[in-house]
Amino acid sequence: MRPVTPIGIAAAAALAVRDSVAAGQLDADIVAKANEVVRILQGLEQYVEDSTTGPSDALAQLATATARGEWEHSDQRDNDKLESEMLSGHAAGRLLQFLVRSTRATSALDIGMFTGYSALAMAEALPANGHVVACEYDRGIAEFAQAAFAKSPSGSKIEVRVGDATQSLRELTSEGRHFDVIFLDADKPGYGRYYELLLDGDLLPRDGVLCVDNTLMQGEPYSSDAPSENGQAIADFNRMVQQDSRVEQVLVPLRDGITLIRRIQ
């Protein structure tokens, strides 16, 4: 079939370049093909951002502050590396707000809050009586997020729980909590465990929506013969969800991949 999507067109052009280089053909047409790959792929994410409704002032300020920060775990947790790029970002934040509003959610759960962009985005979309529970392992980062929440009219809707997410989810289950929309963007090897806790504990009720970030993991799940630990964890997670009859799902190729999961039983 003729490629008709940006990624498909870029892939076809890249294949043509590869085959021509292998055959020793480096003419003007091949250079044009290479430039086409760069043009299509380089501008894609920025065009998505530019075509998406802009963030609130509070979210824009939080994104700027996060980008300027130098992030280290305050408790020296393992050897996990923290980067400002871990922020969910503008387009993903708008997607979360779209889900919250379209499902008429009144409760949301954020697993892996980081500096709080996703939690605040969902809080802004919730009604006045809405509530977000945000889970973050690192106390120092949680304090940064809470300071940002205090500057926003929607920040009072957010309850931050600091500590291991597994324990937080078990506590929420014991409290009989349920959430209309859940965002999962925590440690990738823990995704399968968190997923089972959400469904087995009914934290995600029937017709609830679970939004999972990084489910393309830099292309590793489908393109690497030797994926990293995170790449393998995501591949295993995607396979587990695909085989779970309790849910239906769609993987959206936004940024590093976001899977939308709806519980159907």
pLDDT digits (tens, 9 = 90+) for 205-260: 999 999 999 999 999 999 989 999 999 999 999 999 999 999 999 999 999 999 99
Contact 37, 17 (CB under 8 A): yes
Which residue blocks in the chain are alpha helix, DSSP H? 6-22, 28-50, 57-68, 90-102, 117-125, 139-149, 165-174, 191-200, 220-223, 229-242
Query: What confidence score (pLDDT) does residue 169 get?
Result: 98
Please say whether the beta carbons of 71 and 141 come within 8 A: yes
pLDDT at 33: 82
How far, in Å, CA of 112 to CA of 183, rounded?
A: 8
pLDDT of residue 68: 84
Q: Are 105 and 180 in contact (CB under 8 A)?
A: yes
Q: In whole angstroms, give the CA distance from residue 118 to residue 129.
A: 18
Residue 80's pLDDT is what? 58
pLDDT at 76: 47
Task: Output the six-digit token pair for 177.
Answer: 């909590």
Q: Which residue stretches of the chain have pLDDT < 70? A: 70-86
The predicted pLDDT at position 135 comes to: 98
- 213 vs 237: CA distance, rounded Å: 12
What span, in angstroms and rounded, lies between the C-alpha atoms of 152 and 121? 11
What is the pLDDT at residue 164? 96
Query: What is this structure's pTM?
Result: 0.91
Integer Cα distance of 166 and 203 in angstroms? 13
Rounded CA separation 44/51 (Å):
11
Structure tokens at 175: 């409290």
